[in-house]
A = this chain, B = another copy of it.
């Protein structure tokens, strides 16, 4: 059993559950911090553990380019490479190929794209994207999809959705034939280096959660279909027909209005199996992660808390704080009096403002720790609220909207 998902409580469309992966048991709905190149920017792994992160995300596109799949695979996959013992999810690479490559060339076979690092040419097919993700060794990986641009006409949205469906079938076929090659798998030919790393870690990555030694990764399908509800429904049906243990809603946050994103997610969710985890990448503000949880999304991630932290934008129970402002220069109070994170427990707004104004690296470190803490804490309160079945008070109980 490489993945199991159980729903323990409901509140309206929201679900509280438990997702069991080879490396960790995850309470859902869950927020997944983004570690693009095998590092959640500025935050050591033990601090992520302290914050309660149960699963983090790596970007296949970035990791494929640097340090390269072969290096990660030889070091035991991402778990061994970055010394992270809990769960990891990698994305398909489709979104990055789309968003970072204006000169990409898409064919039935796959996508030719240029590295944003050095301009070198590369090719991702469903098969090579699977090969990369198997080498990276995340617990949950994604079928290779085409992210449809916005706006797009009906014919383009249909053609793109249909290609994603064909690619999903090819992804699954390759995955089923090669899943035993995962670097932490029983059939892996490279246990030596991984074991060497594990041997000197206080709490090495282990597969205890998966129970058996032949645990493998789990491949999720991705629903596309642009901004057309009927195409989304058809994409969901075709992806479900291929059959995956979980489903992601892709192709959003590509420039469309936020209200439209929400509508598409809501309508797509209706067509996804109720007993399988649903993943929605790139969500969002604290309000949005609460809202998408209320719609029935189980897994979310976003670079917003980490990226905003680097720009001095901090999320608090009383709304957003731009810590660079001079008004905080002599503010002895904590960033967020309602937050129990190690930053709010120890430092003043004046100090955080000084670090930011002085361009000190510690500013990024502390700001990121707080923002992640705020997101993870928000999701914790969402889960608690669901477990109490607090449907009517769902949104208001977990999130005080920012003061105007």
- Chain A interface residues toward B at CB < 8 A: 37-39, 41-46, 66-67, 71, 74-75, 80-83, 193-194, 196-197, 200-202, 329-330, 332-334, 342, 345-348, 350-351, 354-355, 357-358, 360-362, 364-366
A342 touches B46 (CB 8 A): yes
Q: 8 tightest A-B contacts by CB?
A: A42-B361, A193-B332, A67-B354, A39-B362, A39-B360, A83-B346, A37-B358, A196-B332
- Please, which residues of chain B bring their CB within 8 A of the CB of A197? 332, 348
- Please, which residues of chain B bring their CB within 8 A of the CB of A345? 200-202
- Please, which residues of chain B bring their CB within 8 A of the CB of A43? 362
B357 touches A67 (CB 8 A): yes
B202 touches A45 (CB 8 A): no
16 contacts between A and B (CB under 8 A): A41-B361, A42-B362, A66-B354, A66-B358, A67-B358, A71-B329, A71-B330, A75-B348, A83-B348, A196-B332, A196-B333, A197-B332, A200-B345, A201-B345, A201-B346, A202-B345
- Please, which residues of chain B bring their CB within 8 A of the CB of A39? 355, 358, 360, 362
A354 touches B37 (CB 8 A): yes
Which one of B41, B81, B357, B366 lies within 8 Å of A44 (CB-CB)?
Answer: B366
- Please, which residues of chain B bring their CB within 8 A of the CB of A42? 361-362, 365
Q: How far is the CB of A188 from chain B (nearest CB, A)?
A: 15
- Please, which residues of chain B bring their CB within 8 A of the CB of A360? 37, 39, 41
Identical subunits present: 2
Known pairs A44-B366, A193-B332, A332-B193; A350 contacts B66 (CB<8 A):
no
Minimum CB distance partner of A334 in chain B? B200
| A75→B333 CA distance, assembly (Å) | 10
| A355→B39 CA distance, assembly (Å) | 8
| A74→B354 CA distance, assembly (Å) | 14
| A55→B67 CA distance, assembly (Å) | 38
| A360→B81 CA distance, assembly (Å) | 15
Known pairs A66-B358, A361-B364; A45 contacts B75 (CB<8 A):
no
Q: How far is the CB of A330 from chain B (nearest CB, A)?
A: 6
Minimum CB distance partner of A82 in chain B? B351
| A332→B80 CA distance, assembly (Å) | 9
Which one of B46, B75, B366 lies within 8 Å of A350 (CB-CB)?
Answer: B75
| A361→B367 CA distance, assembly (Å) | 13
Known pairs A66-B357, A354-B66; A346 contacts B45 (CB<8 A):
yes
A351 touches B81 (CB 8 A): yes
- Please, which residues of chain B bring their CB within 8 A of the CB of A333? 196
- Please, which residues of chain B bring their CB within 8 A of the CB of A202? 345-346
Minimum CB distance partner of A83 in chain B? B346
- Please, which residues of chain B bring their CB within 8 A of the CB of A348? 75, 81, 83, 197
Q: How far is the CB of A149 from chain B (nearest CB, A)?
A: 28
- Please, which residues of chain B bring their CB within 8 A of the CB of A81? 348, 350-351, 354
- Please, which residues of chain B bring their CB within 8 A of the CB of A350? 67, 71, 75, 81
Q: Could you list 8 further interchain pairs (A-B, Cβ under 8 angstroms) beyond the known A71-B330, A202-B346, A365-B365?
A: A38-B351, A44-B342, A67-B329, A67-B354, A81-B351, A83-B347, A193-B332, A200-B334
| A361→B330 CA distance, assembly (Å) | 27
| A355→B347 CA distance, assembly (Å) | 27
Q: How far is the CB of A269 from chain B (nearest CB, A)?
A: 35
| A38→B358 CA distance, assembly (Å) | 10
- Please, which residues of chain B bring their CB within 8 A of the CB of A334? 200
